Structure 1
C-alpha cells in the first residue's frame, strides 16, 4: 500500500519518503502556481512533518502551506504537523486569494517574486525554515511567533525589525548583510530569550546599547566587514563567553564596549582594525583581554588594544582586501545625508596614512583624489534641501506658552551650590557667563554619540556623577540637558532644542543643542556643548538657530568660533559643522515647553510637552507643530527683543 502511494506522488510530481507511519518527508515540485494542495493531496496533508517545495508558488499555495504547518487563513489551529520547511528553490507569484483573510487587518498576499510575504509563517509552529536563496526582502512578521530553533537569513535579504517578534525558542541566528539604514537591530533581537549564538555578516553600523539583557546569548560573532560599531554596546549579558570580529573593522565608538558580562573571557579581532576607542571590559571578572590577530592602525586606548607598529606592515601582507572593503564603504557612504557620511569621510586620512607607509601609491592617490573631490562640495545636498524648503508663516500664535524655571527653584538652587556655578560663570556680562558655563560642560563631559541612556535621574548633578563614576561620556541630548539646567540655575533663560532633518521618518540621526537668552543682545543665542560651538554673523553678533538657518538658505556669511571642537580632538569648521551637519538638522526644531531641572522622566518623555517649528506645508508628527517662527523665538516673559 505504501508503495502505491509513493508511485502516485511520483506521477503528480511529488516525492514522499516514509520514515515511519506518523513522520513523513515530502519533496514537491510546483510547475504551475496554485497546485501545491493537489500535488500533496487532501489525504496526506496532515501526515507530512518535513516538506521541501521547489518551483513557483502563489497565495493559494501559501494558504495551503500554512494549513499543513498548523495555522489556517483565519489564524485558526489546524491539524498540520509540518515542522520543517525548505523553500530554497522557490519563487513567488501574485495569483490566488490572500493567504490570510480572517480579519481585514491581517489580509496578506504575495507582493513580488523574491519577497517573502508579510505574515507568511505568522503563528505557525514550525521549527526549521530554509528561505528562498534569491530572497531580497523578508516581510513584516513573516517569521513571527513561530517555534523556530535555528535560522540563517539569505545573505542579501532586507529584513524588517519585527520579522522575528516573539520567537522565544530561537537558539541560533545568522543575519544578512546590514547597511547603515538597518539601524533597528536592537528591536529585531527583542524577545529572543533563548538565543545562544548570534552571527553577523557584513554590517555597516551597530548602535550603542544594541546587545543588552539577552539572558541566553553565549557567542556573538561578526564574521564579515564592520563599518562602525558604537561604544556602550554590550551590557548585562550573564552567559556571554566570547565576542569575535573575524573581518575588517573600520572604526569603533566610545571607550566602553562591554559591561557586566560575568562569563566573558575574551574579545577577538581577527582582521584589520583601522581605528578603535575601546578600553578594557567593565565588571567582567573572567575577562582576560583582547586577542588581536590582525593589525590595529589607530587605538585611543593603547593599554587595552595597542596599535600595531607601522614598521611591521608590509604591502603584500593582506592589505589589498582591507583596502578594497574600506574604499567601497567610503564610496557608498560619503554623500550619506543622515550624518553617517561624516564617519566614512573621517577614515580617508587613516587609509591614506597606511597606504603611504606601506608604499601603496595607487591607493594613496585614490584617497587623495577622493579628498579633493569632497572639498568645496561637502554638504551641498543638505544646503540644497534646506534652500528648497517653504518659508515660515506667521499666524499670531501665542500658545502653548514656553516657560522657564526661576533660579529660586529648590532643585536649581541645589545645582548652583553643587557646581559653585557663580564661580564657573564669573562676574562678566551675560555673554561671557553663558560661554563660561558652555565651556565648563564641554571640558568636563566627554561627548559620546553612541553611549546608552545613563541609569540615573536626568538632572545636571546625577548626569555629572554618573560620568565620573562610570568613566563614560554622554550623547548630545544629555549634554544639552546638563547645560540647560546650569544656565537656568544662574538665572539665564534657556532651552534645549532637538534638531532633525527633512527625512525625520527614516533618519534617526539628530542633534541637540541649546539656546540661551542674552539680555544684553535682546535675543536668543546658539550654544552647543557637544562641540563648544556658537555661531555669529560677519560682524561677530551671536545668532540663534533660526537666524543661522535663514543665512544658510540665503547664502549669507556665517562665522563659527575658532575653538569649536569635538572632545578637543577634531576642529569644527563652518563648512563641516554648519553647512553640512546642521544644514541637514535645521529642518525641524523642537523645544520643550517646560524648561527646568529634570525636564525628562524615566521614559524619556518631556515633563511638559514639545512644540516643533517646521517650514510651511511640511508634515511633521508632533503634539504641537507650528510654522510661526516669531512665536517660536519669542522672548521669555518679562524680556524684550531688540
Structure 2
C-alpha cells in the first residue's frame, strides 16, 4: 500500500539516508530516445467526465479567473471532500465513487485514490493532468510512497505541482509556481521553496520542512505516471491493460515488487516502460486546455 501519513513524524537516520540518496543521483540522460507511447489526456467532453463536472457543479467551484486560480479552487474543494486515511483502496477508483463513498460511509482514502480522483476532476474541467506516483530509492521494497498531481497550465507553458492530500502547491522565492520536476531539482540542490499557507493535513497546517525537505525528499527518487490520463483509468479489472512510464536516475535499481511493474495480476495486464530522460517524461501536451 502507498502510505503517506509518515511525513508528520521526524525522520530517523534511515529516512535521512534516503534523502541523501536523492542528492547523490546521477543527472538524467536527456539524449535517451523515447521508447514508450505518447501520453494522452481525455477530452472534457467525454460523457463520464461531463457527468462528473455536472454532478458536482465543478464549473461553479472553479469559478472565474486565471488557470491557476481555478485549479487551486478545485484542489481545495476536493481536499475538503475526502480526507486522507491509510486504508485499502476502494474496488472502483473513480472520482464519483470515491466522493460518494466518503459521503455515505465517512471513510477517507489514501493518497493514491485521492490523486486519481483529483486527476479526473482536473480533466473534467479541461486541464491536462497526471497522477504522479513517487517512490524512494529503497530496494528491493519500495517502502511506502506518495502520490500527487501534475497539472498543465497553458498560460505558464508548464506543469505545476499539486497535492490533494495536503491541499498543497509550491512556489519559488519569486512567487512562481513550481513543477514536480522543479521541486525535485530544488530538493537536490538545496534551493528555497515555499508552501502555500492553506496547506494542511486533517486541518493541521503542513510544515514545509517536514513535508518537502523530509517526506518528499525521500520519495522523489522514482516517478511513475499512467500513459493514459482518463476517467476510470486505474480500476483494476479482468481484461484491462494499464500502462505506466517510470522516470529513473541512470544506473538506479528498480524494485519489481510494487503494483506498477510489468505483470499480470487478477487478469489485469500491467506494462511499465522505463526512461532516464526527464525531458520526454515531462513532455508538454500537444493540445492546449479547454477554457
TM-score (norm 1): 0.40
State yes or no: 1:384 paired with 2:9: no
How far apart are 1:608 and its partner, in Å?
3.7
CA separation of 1:630 and 1:465: change in aligned 2, threshold 3 A? same
The 2-side partners of 1:397 and 1:507 are apart by 27
C-alpha separation in 1, matches of 2:17 and 2:252: 19
Q: For residue 412 of structure 1, what is the aligned residue in structure 2? A: 49
Q: 2:188 aligns with which of 529, 546, 553?
A: 553
- 1:578 matched to 2:215: no
CA shift at 1:612, angstroms? 0.3
Deviations 1:208-265 (A, max 9, x none): 9xxxxxxxxxxxxxxxxxxxxxxxxxxxxxxxxxxxxxxxxxxxxxxxxxxxxxxxxx
List per-residue Cα deviations over 1:546-584 (Å, max 9, x = no partner): 11111111111111111211021x221221001100011
Which of residues 512, 516, 530 is equivalent to 2:147? 512
Q: CA deviation at 1:609?
A: 0.2
Residue of structure 2 aligned with 1:477, choices 84, 99, 112: 112
Do residues 544 (structure 1) and 193 (structure 2) align? no
Secondary structure of residue in 1 paired with 2:53? helix
* Structure 1 position 602 matched with structure 2 position 218: no
> 1:515·1:526 contact (CA, 8 Å) conserved in 2?
yes
After TM superposition, give the deviation of residue 619 of structure 1 in Å.
2.6
Which of 23, 26, 30 is the aligned partner of 1:394? 30
Computed over aligned residues only, the root mean square deviation of the Cα atoms, in angstroms, reads 2.6
Tell whether 2:67 aligns with 1:433.
no
State whether structure 2 residue 274 is matched by structure 1 residue 625: yes
In the alignment, the residues of structure 2 paired with residue 524 and residue 615 of structure 1 have an alpha-carbon distance, to the nearest angstrom, of 20
3-state DSSP of counterpart to 1:580: helix
Say if 2:40 and 2:228, in contact at 8 Å, map to a contact too: yes
Structure 1 stretches lacking a partner, 5+ long: 1-206, 209-337, 347-373
Q: How does 1:72-87 map to 2 (within 5 A)?
A: none
- Call closer, same or farther: CA 1:576–1:388 in 2, change over 3 Å: same
| Matches for 1:2-401 after TM superposition, within 5 Å | 342=7, 345=10, 380-395=16-31, 397-398=33-34, 399-401=36-38
| Structure 2 unaligned spans of 5+ | 262-271
> Paired residue for 2:136?
501
How far apart are the structure 1 equivalents of 2:238 and 2:113?
A: 11
Question: Could you tell me how far apart the structure 1 residues matched to 2:41 and 2:197 are?
Answer: 31
SS of alignment partner, residue 74 of structure 2: helix
Tell me what 1:638 maps to: 287
> 2:252, 2:177 → 1: CA distance?
28
Q: Shift in Å at residue 493 of structure 1?
A: 0.3
The corresponding residue for 1:593 is 227
Q: Distance in 2 between matches of 1:426 and 1:530?
A: 22
Query: Would you say 1:524 and 2:133 are equivalent positions?
Result: no
Equivalent residue number for residue 492 of structure 1: 127
1:452-508 Cα distance to aligned partner (Å, 9 max, x none): 2224x2211111111111111011011111110010000000000110000153233
Cα drift, residue 531 of structure 1: 0.5
Q: In structure 2, what is the Cα distance between the partners aligned to 1:493 and 1:504? A: 32
Cα separation, partners in 2 of 1:378 and 1:510, compared to 1, 3 Å = closer
Does the aligned pair in 1 maintain the 2:8–2:210 contact within 8 Å? no
Q: What is the DSSP-based 3-state SS (H/G/I as helix, E as strand, rest coil) of the residue aligned with 1:546?
A: helix
Which residue is 2:266 aligned to?
A: none
Are 1:382 and 1:580, in contact at CA under 8 Å, matched by a contact in 2?
no
CA distance in 2, matches of 1:416, 1:386: 39
* 1:394-420 deviation digits (Å, cap 9, x = unpaired): 125343210000011111111111111
TM-score (norm 2): 0.86
1:305 paired residue number: none
Q: Shift of residue 427 of structure 1?
A: 1.0
| Conserved 8 A contact 1:592-1:606 | no
Counting matched residue pairs gives 273
